[in-house]
Amino acid sequence: MQGGVRKKGDTWYYYFELAKVEGKRKKIERKGGKTKKEAQIALRKAIAEYENAGSINDVNDMSFSDYLDFWYKNYVQVQCKKTTAILYERYIRQHLKPVLGLYKLKSLNPSILQDYLNKKSVSGFSKNTVSSFYGLLSGSLKYAVHPMQYIKENPMQYVKMPRYDVLHKKNENDLKILTINQFNKITERFPLGSSFYIPLEIAFHTGLRASEVTALQWDDIDFDSNTLEVNKILVKIGPEWVFGTPKTQSSHRTVTFGNSLKKILIAHRKHQNEMKLKYGPWYKHSNFICTKENGKNVTTESLKYLSRVINYELKIDFNFHSLRHTHATMLIENGANMKDVQQRLGHSKLSTTMDTYVHVTKKMKNNSVNIFEKAIHR
């Protein structure tokens, strides 16, 4: 490989040619040192690195923005599921690069990173979102330590998650919990035959997330055991709706349902078959449970429209996640085991369930006191 050294002013530089790309050869020139010997040593080292790795990593001048691009291409797109990669790309583009991107990779320190997370917290981002930023920063910089050896240690090991005390926790009103009367009012507006009837009923009876409900297929239902399998979600990638993997490993689960939902599902399946006959060759055949009259599957975007109608037409404070919160609240208030609720909802940690439904556990504590008072005053 051709290369050499030369002096410019008081500084020695080294240079050498890289491999041809599309018939053109590129020359690299870098600062080698104050003496010719230092430049020659730097040249030999650079050539060795290039021949072993195929490229030169000028880490000293690498911006965090460029490093994030490198990490995303070489780690995220290779190791992470597609839905995670899409989320990371958005976080990097919208949140990390605008603030941290201009820093050099090697200049990032705990103070800068802590200040970044603190400001995100103070500006109103939720604990889960800030935790995602924390994990993304920690994971990307860990990769820079090993295997890349770009930096000696991960500065994120000295950074703490901003504290979210009880003032940050959601209360009962934030969770938009429905009453039975409100749910009945909603299903009266969207009865059997409506595109939204079956997703409403499934979410209310099982506590599934919107992406889990819309991904359900008839093969996921076992009518003999009254169970359904949550093994995929429905996500949009570009213009296409595709199956993705559930949120976490705990989200892969088997959920038991009662005879009420069983009857609803059987009636819905009968309705689907009637629509197949009605539409004939124009019916869009699939194995989806949640479908419109013409067989086209219901998506999470469709459910956003549903929420708008319920809010503005029925005057009920609602989003589709309200059904999940309502389901869990009803279970806990009526004595369900908290560990069972955690598993039913697909939460990775029991603390997530406890923190989310803190208002319910407070009611349970009051009930416990009342039970004791009744016991001693018989």
Catalytic residues: 209, 236, 321, 324, 347, 357
Residue 248 has, within 13 A of its CA and on its CB side, a CA count of 8
For residue 263, the Cα-to-chain-centroid distance in whole angstroms is: 34
Tokens at 360, concatenated = 């319910």
Place of tokens 């490093």: 67
Strands (E), the chain: 3-8, 11-21, 24-33, 221-222, 227-230, 233-237, 240-244, 253-256
CB distance 226 to 262 below 8 Å: yes
State which amino acid sits at residue 318.
Answer: F
Q: Concatenated DSSP letters for 62-125?
A: -BHHHHHHHHIIIIIHHHS-HHHHHHHHHHIIIIIHHHHTTSBGGG--HHHHHHHHHHHHHTT-
CB distance 331 to 320 below 8 Å: no
CB distance 217 to 289 below 8 Å: yes
- What distance in Å separates the CA atoms of residue 231 and residue 319, rounded to the nearest whole number? 23
